[in-house]
């Protein structure tokens, strides 16, 4: 049988080290509380990190469900059987909800094109027209913005594919536009611009969303 030697005084943590470790632990707990627990539990997201991670949406859903359960409870006569009372089901743990949310989001992401972003610049001579198209699946969304430098253009936001054609929006003498494009069907969707002015103009397009390719086709 061996007897363990008592630790030497030099091996023991100093008061300064203990204090520093305690402060680090407190700061870490506060960070977790603000960035994870509050957004996921109460939809309180002062930093914006919770919404970026999708936790704030969970908190909003949970808060709404709790509110509806409370309203149902007030509107329903009391019962001796807890299982028959609305909202009596046990609440899932935070870890379980986070895992479920991440799993569902990952599975959904596999069914649609991964998000991407691009920026294109094209120059149009007088009377010249050019077209930019994105390859999109039905229901995919793309946030876009385009501006014209030193002039205005006529444009047609449209799509074609799967044996279908659709014009989403048109404009004449427009200096720019922005919005969200939702694909009505699988195919190519984008813009045709024409310069009706007497000088060259430059169109700068930025896109962000669910599309697999983007290119100038004319």
Of the residues 51, 77, 109, the one at which a domain ends: 109
Cα-only R_g, the chain: 29
**Which residues face 208 on adjacent strands?**
117, 143
Mean pLDDT of 147-156: 95
Three-state DSSP at 40 gives helix
Of the residues 109, 126, 155, the one at which a domain ends: 109
**Per-residue confidence at 12, pLDDT binned at 50, 70, 90?**
low
Whether residue 137 is found in the same domain as residue 209:
yes
Tell me which of 37-46, 129-138, 158-167, 185-194 is least confident.
37-46
Task: Give residue-wise pLDDT tens across range 97-149.
Answer: 554 554 445 444 444 445 799 999 999 999 999 999 999 999 999 999 999 99
Give the residue numbers spanning the domain of 40: 29-109
Residue 111 has a pLDDT of 44
Tokens of 126: 């007088």
Whether residue 158 is found in the same domain as residue 65:
no
Whether residue 161 is found in the same domain as residue 77:
no
Mean pLDDT of 169-193: 96
Q: Which of 105, 112, 132 is nearest to 192 (CA)?
A: 132
H/E run at residue 174: strand 164-174
Whether residue 53 is found in the same domain as residue 138:
no
Question: Most confidently modeled of 36-45, 114-123, 174-183?
Answer: 174-183
Task: Give residue-wise pLDDT tens across range 47-89.
Answer: 887 677 777 677 677 777 777 677 767 665 554 444 444 444 4
- The total domain count for the chain is 2
The answer to whether residue 184 scores a pLDDT higher than 90 is yes
Question: Most confidently modeled of 4-13, 24-33, 75-84, 148-157?
Answer: 148-157
CATH code of the domain containing 137: 2.60.120.380
Helical H segments across the chain, by residue range = 15-32, 38-42, 49-53, 55-75, 94-109
- Indicate the average pLDDT of the chain: 79
The answer to whether residue 93 scores a pLDDT higher than 70 is no
Residue 84 has a pLDDT of 43
Whether residue 67 is found in the same domain as residue 85:
yes
């Amino acid at each position: 049988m061996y007897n363990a030697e008592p630790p030497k005084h030099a091996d023991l943590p100093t008061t300064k080290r203990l204090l520093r470790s305690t402060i680090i632990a407190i700061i870490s707990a506060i960070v977790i509380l603000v960035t994870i627990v509050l957004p996921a539990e109460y939809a309180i997201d002062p930093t914006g990190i919770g919404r970026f991670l999708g936790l704030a949406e969970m908190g909003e859903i949970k808060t709404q469900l709790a509110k509806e359960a409370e309203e149902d409870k007030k509107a329903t006569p009391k019962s001796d059987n807890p299982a028959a009372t609305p909202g009596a089901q046990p609440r899932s743990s935070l870890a379980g909800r986070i895992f479920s949310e991440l799993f569902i989001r990952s599975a959904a992401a596999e069914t649609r094109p991964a998000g991407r972003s691009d920026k294109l610049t094209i120059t149009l001579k007088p009377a010249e027209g050019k077209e930019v198209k994105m390859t999109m699946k039905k229901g995919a969304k793309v946030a876009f913005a385009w501006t014209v430098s030193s002039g205005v253009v006529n444009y047609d936001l449209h799509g074609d594919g799967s044996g279908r054609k659709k014009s989403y929006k048109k404009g004449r003498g427009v200096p720019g536009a922005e919005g969200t494009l939702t694909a009505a069907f699988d195919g190519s969707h984008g813009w045709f611009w024409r310069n009706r002015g007497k000088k060259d103009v430059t169109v700068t397009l930025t896109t962000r969303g669910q599309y697999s390719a983007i290119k100038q086709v004319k």
